[in-house]
Structure 1
């Protein structure tokens, strides 16, 4: 592993614990056994380091999506099962740091759409919608209604995640997800939420 990769991984762990928006190079460098000068040399600037951390976080996000995506024919699981699997992962306490980082980066991307944060929120929306589309039967996936259903599923997951991060009330928020899944039409686990 190169020194740059080592420092990126150490920075990522630091950011998961301390957040990204108020990142300062001096305390970061001291915590990870480096210097601000080395970090700037390796990443070009503080902004370059933030971009690298956001890319690293996106790698984790895509790994989650791949974990949820079934092998074989993904459309066989349906949207409801995809939502159940995603929520089970999202609601697990050990994932809170990465999800807090996601929420922080998502919000920052909305208020600062240019520069370092630019495109982060939109890219995550597209990633998640693509996964949800893969889980829909082809005839549903390609319809306006199918697009609306997966958009609703993503909105419910995102809202529930923000609620869970804010309150820690796993039981209440999971009950809301379960309630939304119960509203789906069609046979169990075959249709969208």
Structure 2
């Protein structure tokens, strides 16, 4: 990126990117219960925190600025490229968008979206028939959509780690694990009742 292009304060990009990802998650997740809404809300907060630091206000850079500047004095920490902390910290001096962590993040994000999409098709058909989803990706992974959401979040952490999202990630992963366990128990309960 060029130094004369603003790196932060791009609130329209924060809103646009957040809206796209939150709408996408909503279209697949379709929260119904209060527990679903809590999980969806936590995911939405993760996305908002991520894009706010990516395009709006670099809180992590400001909080770590003393340490970062003393260790890496040649880096312009207020440039957009410097926000790709892992590339900077590991010495990737080329365009960070082609750095190893950024490219690896695309695999996690893309894989997560593919799992979500594959799971959605099978789950939609099973719900339409009133049966348990056990075919397709559900024959191999019990909760492909939740695993997909966790992969997407992890991919974003590789791409743009921030203090807030690093702290939120294990909480969100735990919330999805609990949600998956609860849904399993509900499904088993319904299965026993109808048997």
With the length of structure 1 as denominator, give the TM-score of the two structures. 0.28
In our comparison, the structure showing a higher alpha carbon Rg is 2
With the length of structure 2 as denominator, give the TM-score of the two structures. 0.28
